[in-house]
A and B are shown apart, each in its own frame.
Chain A
Amino acid sequence: MIAHPLRIAGDTNIGKVRAANEDTLILDPGLGLYAVLDGMGGANAGDVASQLASDTIREYVQHRALALTPCDLLEQAIIAGSAAVYSAAQIEADRHGMGTTVVACLVVDPSYIVVAHVGDSRAYLLRGGRLQPLTRDHTIVEELAGRGLLTPDEVERHPYKNVLSRNLGSRPDARVDVIEVEVRPGDRLLLCSDGLYGYASADAIQYVLGSGDAPEEVARDLIELALRGGGGDNVSTIVIEVPAAPASSTAAVRTAGAVAWWQHRQRFLEVAAESALARNPIVRGLSAKDAVDLVALSLCQAIYHDLEKSTGVNVWTFAQNLAAGWFERGGDWKPVRAIVDILGDCARAVLDEVRAADSQLGFLLEVAVSRALIVVELALGGLLAERLRQIDDDLVELHSATMDTLEDTLESEEVPEATAPALAPPGELLDNPTAPFERSEGPAPGDEAPPEVVGAIAKILTLARGRVAPRDALTGQILAALQAVVSDSDGNFTMAVLSARGLYGVRSVDPAGVAPLFDAFDQARVVVAACAQQQRAPIAVRVRALRALSTAHQRLASAVTGLVLEAVGPYHDRLREAQATTAELRSAVATAERTRAELERQFATVVDTRLPWGARGTSDW
């Protein structure tokens, strides 16, 4: 559209697992057009789809910019992109099923941006340090959540949360969501593929996006964040920054904020000395001055250094050390919460004074210090999550031990040793034929499983998930699917079929597309067997748990194979159609050949009749 003074940068990375980067970026300051496209479909079709859609969208915007309103322009451009991908997929058999997501924005002027998207690539707006999603994923699960059928927690845990309900290429047109955004100075807009938010938390994204670094560095740091989180997918980011007023440039904020904070440290320490800090159990045994120096001064220095360098590392380390040291000494959560609240109050008292003296500086410092306090909360949250996991493990262990004791007691009281018969020799087995089988279905794993078996299954799968490397996402998905299948109590294994669809996803029909699924099944099988071995539950319980898991494993693998068979079916049909067409063509050629031969014969006869009588029949045709 127009040249604009925004600062924009984008970056893309293949990730740690994928063999190719199927993401495509559009960074066109001349048109004011920026987009992230995440291609899908095997046999190198994903990158073809995203590139083709990208080229089409760019071309459309270039040629129709003056003819349409910005919203219509972006919407129609994306629809044109979808049509292009759809047509290409229809023409080439290898590319059948390819598609792409897109999140695009058109900068109309520095305060007005149009954002459009299809699929699960997202746009976020960072305003006042808070990250707000601008788009809602076009996934089946999100659509269900939008209708109030799923809670946010269920959405997060749902096995099909990545199954798209819309994309470019699955149909000739596309339903595009378009929104208009009025941006303000200091706002930052982020466009990203699912490779970012799938491997980095919203808090972490908010923190990096709000760091104050240049957009180039932020785009790169966000990718680094996703790679550290596993990098299981291609990851792409575009950061668009609306520059703040000249007086409050990032560097000035940093320097002025850090200096102002340091100048007011004495006031911070005085407020801390007057507070209940010295009476907190964490600093028990220290004098009031030592307590203030140890805790308040350390935090004060950490905030100063973080403000100066625009990081959160120092504050994070302070909070981790404070809480972890206390927990190691056997302390509980309450004093940690209390001391953090006291320090927060002290910081706010200083901010009030700064604001009274200089409102602009006070505002800047408030943003920076609030961010530091958020980092403290994040660090504590991480520690708490770890403690909860430990407590969960301890509870499961305790439950297993209790069940052991209970079973021992029952065995000693009621059940003689004969209940565990020795292995009968093969001959005896043949001499004692068992009842014939009357049904082909196996025992339902969840059928009236006693609580201890259910508990053992959950423990095995929890242990197994812990042993799977984060980059081995497929094995993790299989373990989650096993949990769902085992919990399915109807005995018909409908959950196996549903879970298999989630596992199969979008996949090319060739060995490279299918083999990883079965490698992951093998991997899951081996990990489950290993974790079952490590279980401390009674062996009878372990046998039942393993049997249920084994049945679930078999049903799931079988259902996935069923999907492979479903996917290869059309290839045979298309071959048959092609063979029929060839046969028709052959027949047409044969008929034409006969017609031509007949005409030639007639022509020869005509020519022959015109020759002198003696020369007839001698012409050499």
Chain B
Amino acid sequence: MTVTPHDLLEAVRGLRDELLETAQHGDREPPGTEVFEAVLRALAVGGGARRAAEASAPRASPLDPSLQDAVARRLAWGESEEAVLADAEQVFDRLLAAADRALGDPESQITVIEAMTQVAVTVSRVVAGAAVARAVRDRAARSREEMTQRQLKEVLEKQKASIQRLERELKQDF
């Protein structure tokens, strides 16, 4: 039986509740949803790694903007990068085990494994990129703080000089 990309996509989509434990999270979006969605997107376009592997020269896949948005949103809500990575790892492991069990066709398993690897690297890249961007912002903010400190120190020096002058004059007057 030949498995079409659509069948495969639907089969993996069918694993969603099981992988993300949606029932336990009620109305909230389960952690790791963005990773699972990214895997589905990678499968929908035919598996980035497979397509690249079949090309004459290997090339890297483009960054997934939706995944980047989703990760950025989680970080903006105050979640840590470590939490995002841990969720991604959990989805990765579960999907790997589920694909082994639920997908009988080895070619389909290979396609899913390749898509997952692609997403795993992309998640790492996005999280690292976000962390580096934060570091760059922190560095710039620290420069601004240091500039402010220099200005404040100048003001403080002037104030001290002014205070000393006033104290001297007051003593003389008394």
Contact = CB atoms under 8 A, between A and B. Distances in A.
Interface of A: 93-94, 420-427, 429-430, 433-434, 436-437, 440-443, 467, 509-511, 513-515, 517-519, 521-523, 525-527, 529-530, 532-533, 539-540, 542-543, 546-547, 550-551, 553-555, 557-558, 560-562, 564-565, 567-568, 571-572, 574-575, 578-579, 581-582, 585-586, 588-589, 592-593, 595-596, 599-600, 602-603, 606-607
B120 A589 contact: no
Given A533-B54, A558-B89, A581 B132 contact: no
24 contacts: A422-B104, A426-B10, A430-B14, A433-B18, A434-B102, A515-B125, A522-B61, A533-B50, A533-B54, A543-B109, A558-B85, A561-B81, A562-B85, A572-B135, A574-B142, A578-B145, A578-B146, A578-B149, A579-B145, A596-B163, A599-B167, A600-B166, A603-B170, A607-B173
B76 interface: no
Contacts of B160: 592
B66 interface: no
B155 A560 contact: no
A465 to B, nearest CB: 13
Contacts of A467: 58
Interface residues of B, number: 85
Nearest to B9: A426
Interface string B111-122: 001101110110
| Most-contacted residue by chain A among B15, B105, B128 (CB, 10 A) | B128
Given A585-B149, A585-B153, A423 B105 contact: yes
Contact of B113 (A423, A436, A547): A547
A434 B128 CA distance: 34
A427 B163 CA distance: 83
- List 5 tightest A-B contacts by C-beta distance, closest first: A442-B93, A522-B60, A530-B53, A421-B104, A568-B135
B35 to A, nearest CB: 11
Given A423-B105, A440-B93, 6 more contacts: A423-B108, A429-B14, A437-B97, A519-B60, A561-B81, A561-B128
Contact of A434 (B101, B109, B133, B139): B101
Nearest to B58: A526
B89 A426 contact: no
B60 A526 contact: yes
A529 to B, nearest CB: 4
B79 interface: no
Nearest to A523: B60
Nearest to B153: A585
A308 B105 CA distance: 68
B23 to A, nearest CB: 10
B3 interface: yes
Contact of A586 (B92, B133, B152, B159): B152
Contacts of B120: 550, 553-554, 557-558
B118 A525 contact: yes
Contacts of B138: 568, 571-572, 574-575
A554 B92 contact: yes
Nearest to A468: B58
B110 to A, nearest CB: 6
A519 B60 CA distance: 7
Contacts of A421: 104
B102 to A, nearest CB: 6
Contacts of B145: 575, 578-579, 581-582
A582 B54 CA distance: 57
A253 B166 CA distance: 90
Nearest to A551: B96
Contacts of A602: 166, 170
Contacts of A530: 52-54, 58
